Structure 1
Amino acid sequence: MTTTTRPHRPDAVDAGSPWTAPPRPGTDLGPITIEPLDPDRDAALLHGWVTSPRSRFWGMQEADLETVRAAYAAIDADPSHSAWLGSVAGAPAFLAETYDPARSELAQHYPVRDGDLGMHVLVGPAERRVPGFTSAVFAAVMDFCFADPAVRRVVVEPDVGNRLVAAKNAAAGFVVDRLVRLSDKTAALSFCTREAFRTSALGPEPAERPDDSAPHLEPGVAARAHRHLVTKALAEFSHERLLAPRRLGEDRWAVDVDGGRVRYTFAAVHHPLEHWVVEAATVGRTVDGEPRELDVLELVVELAPVLGIPDTLLGTYLEEVSSTLASLAYKWTSAAASADDLLGAGFQQIEAAMTEGHPAFLANNGRIGFGRRAHDTWSPEAGRPQRLVWVAARRTLSHFAAARDVTEEQHYRDEVGAEGLQLLHDRLERLGLDPADYRLLPVHPWQWDTRVAITFAADVARRYLVHLGETEDRYQAQQSIRTFFDVDRPDRSYVKTALAVQNMGFLRGLSARYMRATPAINDYVADLVRGDATLRGCGFSVLREHATIGYTGSVYTRLPAGSPYQKMLAALWRESPVPGLAPDERLATMASLLHRDADGRSHLAALVRGSGLDAAEWVRRYLRVYLRPVAHCLLAHDLAFMPHGENLIMVLRDHAPARMIMKDIGEEVAVLSADRPLPPQVERVRAPVGEDVAALSVQTDVFDGVLRFVAAVLDVDGLLDVHRFWALVADCLDEWEADHPELAGRLDLRAPRFAHSCLNRLQLRNTLQMVDLTDQASSLIMSGTLANPVARAAAR
């Protein structure tokens, strides 16, 4: 045996003794030990293991004894790679390998971090199966890896076809980050942190059933959440001119309510676009001159006459605010990752870490209908991968629509795999039903339990709808709550499901009728984007919603159009961004630019510092991949998106934006011209408006809806003066005009002023349905105009 220092050597091994796994309650297999493998002594044993039919993914099926001995002698001589022999109750039972990913083929496919340790494990074939044996071995190997305090994260790269290992990885807390093409296989690159393993099903402290006492709702955390939301209400209601703060002195303001009986005081500064930066610590409330605690629900009631909430909807709005309060307390209580930690985090860890919903809306996490247990299971901040329910829908009572390059049969094979598809078909056949008579519909388990099995009871009883249960893949809820990312196979599509919860002014259903045209609309937009040289130059792309399914067989179909009961059984599939990633690229929701961790530290500031760029250069790159393509789509193609933070995915390279990916196309894209030719099946997205309203798709949705918040974060954190920020925005638009003189002046994004479109006013007017999705422009509520921070110098 060599004595070269290895990257992973627990103390017991260095002392010359086998390492012994800590005992696990309920496991009675005897002691599990691990010791260095001796290639000469153990070659015959290994040969029998690696050539077993069960070990086909080990890649040594045809190896002879000398080949096996030589392979492990080479590992023994490699200071970055170690092989270990594991025994159970004194009998050799498994092989483990640990290695330094930085010295392996994986280094070409992801940025290796300090504390990463690669791992392989192979359980030897046994004469009889012992329940729990493989799980105990796998847990012991993970304990062994983390026995070295320098190890922070275990890395594995199993063959994508190895479903048994995928299941064990998932049980141990691994999350698939991406698929990578290695020299001998397509691998599911996966990571497991100490914390993820500790609370996994195989870990020493497996996560228990959620605590029914709602421990996040404790006085100190709730008081902090009230302060945060009161601060936000004062800032955003003042921005929308629902409130008119009165100046008390330099940067000191007051809002009087109920004839002055209630008073709020605070320190704040004004930024462009009438953005109020309110200092949370300074907010105070008095009633009849006596100090009172801050309470966002009391604030809403006190301001109700000013806010204009209809009496019949005040209770609903208060419930949405209460849910937002509870969600914020949950996020702060459970948040483990700091803003700096997120620099090296995976896409889905970032998605789950977000503590702020839509930055403008006060009630942005309503989720009316979810109970505490459902929230702890299905909310994005819970970050708990779950399995979806599959329902078979009678083919004659449903529709399926797909992009031009997608067939129905191949679509299902791609999304659940051949084995999963056969499993679902077998369940139908066991009921005496012909799979050819049905389509497959993914359903949110909460939706099945609380709505479909009750509201559609007649259809279930007639077997128009058939419950088929779960398949293997686990999905994680995204910020949009009804959309799911496949954490076990990230190359597979997102799944967007109907969900009958009330959230941010809408019941989160999906219309089967409305989605018939969705794939065709997505094909049109994707073709346009791919065919535009400016958009290609920005690296701008879209994720197509390439397949939809809807159930149309219920009595609710005959209700007047727009009934929420027509939006309870439908789903769509959206392309994943993972297959298009380069090895040096990583993903993050653009919403993360506005994220502050539980200690108030900004993730945007961490990105800027981590990039090594000065803040102005970082912002230039960001605007080039975000503002430039969005503005170009409008000015060159009359095409408007809904480009808020949750609808864009940043592709980061060295912590700086390299390109952007737009999603949520079918419901929110619009062609704002009456004259631009459109294919007949895409005509639904035509929404002709005047030039001033068309310009608002950038002025309101980008300047006011996103950039004013980004500017404030950078200014407050001392990275970039807010006026310098807006000068960079003007520069970005100038550069676009210089590159496209033939289009300059079509719409004036830099007019001196633009209409002040107010979002909270929409929700306050009707918290059940803020806008008519078929005619969004007519739903807007304006409050005068705003001075344009990028107005041309001559107009300033």
Structure 2
Amino acid sequence: MTPLTIEPLDPARDTPAVHAWLTHPRARFWGMTDADPTQVRAYLDAVVADPHQDGWLGRADGTPAFYVETYDPAHLLPAGTYDAQPGDLGMHLLVAPPGAAPVPGFTSAVMAAVMRFCLGDDGDNDGDGDGAGPGERGAPRGLGAARVVVEPDVRNTAILAKNAAAGFRVLHEIDLVADGHTKRAALSVATRTDHATSPLGTGWTGGHDPHPHLRPDHAAHAHRHLVAKAIAELTHERLLAPAPDGRDRYVLDAGPSRYTFTATVLPLDHWVIDLPSLHRTRAGRPTDLDVLDLILELQPTLAIPDDLVSLYLEELASTLAAATAKRHRALAGGPTASDLLHATFQETEAAMTEGHPGFLANNGRIGFSLPDYQAYAPENQPRVRLTWVAARREHTHLALAAHLDEPTHLAQALSPDEHTAFTRRLTDRGLDPADYHLLPLHPWQAAHRLPVTFAADVARGDLVPLGPGGDEHQPQQSIRTLYNLTRPHAPYVKVALAIQNMGFLRGLSPAYMRDTPAINDWVAHLVHTDPTLTDTGFTVLREHATLGYTGDAYHRTAATNPHRKMLAALWRENPVPRTNPGDRLATMAALLHRDHHGHAHATALVRASGLHPHDWLRSYLRAYLRPLVHCLLAHDLVFMPHGENLVLTLRDHVVVSTFIKDIGEEVAVLGPRALPPTLERIRGITPGREKALAIFTDVFDGVLRHLAGILDTDGVLPATQFWGLVAETLDTYEADHPDLARGLAGDIDLRAPTFAHSCLNRLQLRNTLQMVDLTDQSASLLYAGDMPNPVARTRVPVP
């Protein structure tokens, strides 16, 4: 293509050429076809003299070929016709009439060059990437506009088509008056991204690429990790049985594919697969690893229902996409495992990459677009403002902890400015604020559900949108729980988020939450008055306020449904105000985190502490395992103590105490002990062998198995010694509480030879829409025989 350059207009020099172009019939929409050279000269002089306009001459291979005017649209377009934005630049373009031999594509090339000139700031006006066009001495660098504005005559279909090809979007039609003539114009704009992704732009490259994380190298890394995890966890759950093929070598046949790898098998059938050793062949030929292919190859073995397999694949594809995005972000400068030794609570929270260590499809988030993911996923460390609505009191239920009244709750939940603004907005509508509760919504929920799913409620005034709050929040790993960055001592807020993730629609039940503060009060009183628990520093983060809306049609259906869980919120205590100076907070998920170099944070903690690994682990088990064992054996009380539900207090890189959270939905009493009548829903009478699974499944299998694998793989602590220290913790507890060693009913044996092997992925594979019935979780469980207990009484003592 002929080199194109752009330089400042010189009326004395350029009038003859521009006059010939303006008076040609092709330029009739400029309205100057009858102008003589003197009039054109006067016109160009006026453009150059106007501080709000500039004229430019374009050359093709050094020959004058087009004329450009740029202007400030805020000054030159009539008031009320145009909503100005910072960085806007108006533009008019006139291309010289074609000669005897028109050049195909010339006008398109000129339009592309002019757009690069208007939007660019690197002076690369000829498009050759060198930052300057030939013969551009004295020419300005690109004009650096954020958005180009044009207003062509609506009858000029040729330029309208060319504008569309350059990425312009028509906002609306306006009337423009010049020299007594009225022009009906198509007011149009194009941003940098609009142009770059247009037919005349460079495409989705560089900074304009909407998904730079979806690169082959990132995807290959994510597939390798997920295929290894799939083989390891599904083998752990006894759905697969890789065959030995020599020392530490295994083979797995899956449909037409064969997978070979090296692995170490640790206690609890924990498979640690060496990632570089993992290879796939088809018909004897090397083939790329692909976790979606693996699941399809294994579908008959995994017994995934045909009507649900596509949804499981979508959750897995979303998990893959998130893994590529996390890697892309980490490689651009994410914190290492060692960096996290001194990171803040929220910096550590945002650095987590794995999600649930056992579930394969653990970042489903079905319902999120890519912009949603970028705006709300915790690993992106976004700053999120909640959207507030006023919900009519007669259709809502506010439940408060015993120590809390409504004014105190509101003072904690909202800043004074927020409360004042929302009260004023209600009174401005003629509504009485006393008739409403103030309910926060996730901004995604407010955009996707409030005006559509609850359109009738908004229309009749039972829900009154109030707009975004002022406080900025950071989503936690559980994604619908948000930490207040503006007021760091404010409570957490947890809101409904109607996306599908890990086998559930992530809502909040107003019915369940009516009793949540009372349940939390009861549990907190029990925990905080038990000397054994207070001695370990085990503390409850109470959910002390809940609010749910039930005035919608979905609460009047015969059967319960997910739509009943879309408008609710709870507020939870914040651990930050209860932390001593010098101590550091991190969710327990951080102990299972490996950074983008493969380095484990737990290993970094042990080494930085200066303690022998035995002593570091003893401190952690005393803070984590001992209180959970005591709650079970002394109170028949169990939690869901996975990585995100525990907040660790670290002192000098050593775990010294823990906060337990997510009480209302996930706590249970497994025996006949007395409960207030309103709390009976948390009771579940079960035999001792099933009670013990609260430790065996949720603690041993769900957390400690993975930590033992990390420390063993990193050469910090052999897994046999790890489990010996777990047994030692149980021994110490039994010595301190010989009367409770087998629980209140004497039917719990945490040192039994085996325990029932409850499996998580089996639940999701069976029904990815709803893994378990929350009203009867025990009956929903799936088992795969018995698992040898790594702390059975026949264990080998710690050296």
Superposed pair shares fold, TM > 0.5: yes
CA distance in 2, matches of 1:410, 1:419: 15
Whether 2:231 is the aligned partner of 1:234: answer yes
Correspondence for 1:492? 490
Equivalent in 709, 714, 728 of residue 711 of structure 2 = 714
2:600 maps to which of 593, 599, 602: 602
Whether contact under 8 Å (2:480, 2:494) holds in the other structure is: yes
- SS of alignment partner, residue 465 of structure 2: strand
Q: 1:212 offset after TM fit, Å?
A: 5.7
Deviations 1:211-262 (A, max 9, x none): 562111111011100000000000000000100110110100011122xx32
Distance 2:246 2:795 in 1: 33
1:215 paired residue among 164, 188, 212: 212
Distance in 2, matches of 1:636 and 1:210, equals 59
User: For residue 418 of structure 1, what is the aligned residue in structure 2?
Assistant: 416
Hey, what's the Cα distance between the residues in 2 that align with 1:782 and 1:525? 29
In 1, distance between residues paired with 2:658 and 2:709? 22
Corresponding residue for 1:566?
564
SS in 2 for 1:392: strand
Alpha-carbon distance in structure 2 between the residues aligned to 1:533 and 1:275: 35
Question: Which of the residues 288, 292, 295 maps onto 1:297?
Answer: 292
1:316 to 311, 314, 318: 311
Q: Is the 8 A contact 1:256 1:263 kept in 2?
A: yes
1:734 aligns with: 731
2:691 maps to 1:694: yes
Distance 2:701 2:208 in 1: 40
After superposition, what is the alpha-carbon deviation per residue over 1:402-436, rounded to whole angstroms, capped at 9, x for unaligned? 10111122211122133321111011111111100
TM-score by length of 1: 0.73
Tell me if the contact between 2:281 and 2:287 (Cα under 8 Å) persists in the aligned partners: yes
Distance in 2 (CA, whole Å) between partners of 1:541 and 1:710 is 22
Identify which of 616, 620, 630 aligns with 2:614.
Answer: 616
Q: AA paired with 1:778?
A: A
Deviations 1:593-630 (A, max 9, x none): 01011111111111111111111110000000000001
CA distance in 2, matches of 1:521, 1:698: 21
Structure 1 partner of 2:536: 538
Matched, 1:449 2:415: no
Structure-to-structure mapping, 1:327-346, within 5 angstroms: 327-335=322-330, 336-346=334-344
Deviation string for 1:452-487 (max 9, x for gaps)?
A: 110000110111101111222110001111110001
Equivalent pairs counted in the alignment come to 586
- Where do 5+ consecutive residues of structure 1 fail to align? 1-131, 133-208
**SS of the counterpart of 2:690?**
helix
Q: Deviations over 1:170-228 (max 9, x none)?
A: xxxxxxxxxxxxxxxxxxxxxxxxxxxxxxxxxxxxxxx99562111111011100000
SS in 2 for 1:226: helix
Distance of 1:600 and 1:340 partners within structure 2: 12
Aligned 8 A contact 1:519 1:544 in 2: yes
Alignment of 1:520-599 (within 5 A): 520-599=518-597
In structure 1, the residue corresponding to 2:488 is in which secondary structure? coil
- Normalization by structure 2: what TM-score? 0.72
Q: Provide the secondary structure at the position in 2 that maps to 1:658.
A: strand
Alignment match, 2:774: 773
Matched residue of 2:515: which SS? Answer: helix
- Shift in alpha-carbon separation, 1:211–1:734, aligned structure 2, 3 A: farther
Residues in 1 aligned to 2:297 and 2:557: alpha-carbon distance in whole angstroms: 39
Q: Distance in 1 between matches of 2:587 and 2:328?
A: 22
Q: Deviations over 1:152-183 (max 9, x none)?
A: xxxxxxxxxxxxxxxxxxxxxxxxxxxxxxxx
Deviation string 1:91-134 (CA, Å, 9 cap, x unpaired) is xxxxxxxxxxxxxxxxxxxxxxxxxxxxxxxxxxxxxxxxx9xx
Decide which of 317, 325, 331 is 2:320's aligned counterpart.
325
Paired position in structure 2 for 1:121:
none
Aligned equivalents of 2:796, 2:307: Cα separation in 1: 45
Alpha-carbon offset, residue 793 of structure 1? 2.3
Match of 1:267 in 2: 262
CA distance in 1, matches of 2:222, 2:367: 22
Distance 1:332 1:670, change over 3 A: same
Give the counterpart letter for 2:673 in structure 1.
R
Bigger Rg, structure 1 or 2: 2
Contact 1:393 1:440 in 2 (8 A): yes
Query: Which of the residues 238, 258, 282 maps onto 2:277?
Result: 282
Percent identical among aligned pairs is 58
- Structure 1 distance, partners of 2:659, 2:436, is 34
What is the aligned counterpart of 2:363 among 344, 351, 365? 365
Contact 2:356 2:362 in 1 (8 A): yes
Cα 1:698–1:469 shift into 2, 3 Å: same
Shift of 1:676: 0.6
Q: Measure the CA separation in 1 of the matches of 2:348 and 2:373.
A: 18
Distance (whole Å) between structure 2 residues aligned to residue 303 and residue 458 of structure 1: 46
Which residue identity is paired with 1:556?
Answer: Y
Task: Give the equivalent residue in structure 1 for 2:506.
Answer: 508
d(CA) in 2 for partners of 1:227, 1:257:
16
Give me the whole-angstrom Cα distance separating, in 1, the residues matched to 2:528 and 2:587.
22
Shift >6 Å, 4+ stretches = none
RMSD: 1.4
Q: How far does the alpha carbon of each residue in 1:516-538 deviate from its partner, in whole angstroms, 9 at most, with x for none?
A: 00000000000000110000000
CA gap of 1:238–1:660, structure 2 versus 1, over 3 A, is same
**Alpha-carbon distance in 2 for matches of 1:475, 1:665:** 22
Q: Does 1 or 2 have the higher relative contact order (CA < 8 Å, sep 6+)?
A: 1
Deviations along 1:656-705, one digit per CA (max 9) or x if unpaired, are 001000000001000001x2100111111001111100000001110111
Q: Distance in 2 between matches of 1:602 and 1:719?
A: 11
**Any residues of structure 2 matched to 1:58-137 within 5 Å, and which?**
none
Question: C-alpha displacement at 1:561, in angstroms?
Answer: 4.4
Which residue of the other structure, out of 449, 471, 492, is the alignment partner of 2:469?
471
> Contact between 2:495 and 2:508, CA under 8 Å: does it hold in 1?
yes
Q: Which of 713, 722, 725 is equivalent to 2:722? A: 725
Q: 1:439 aligns with which of 437, 440, 447?
A: 437
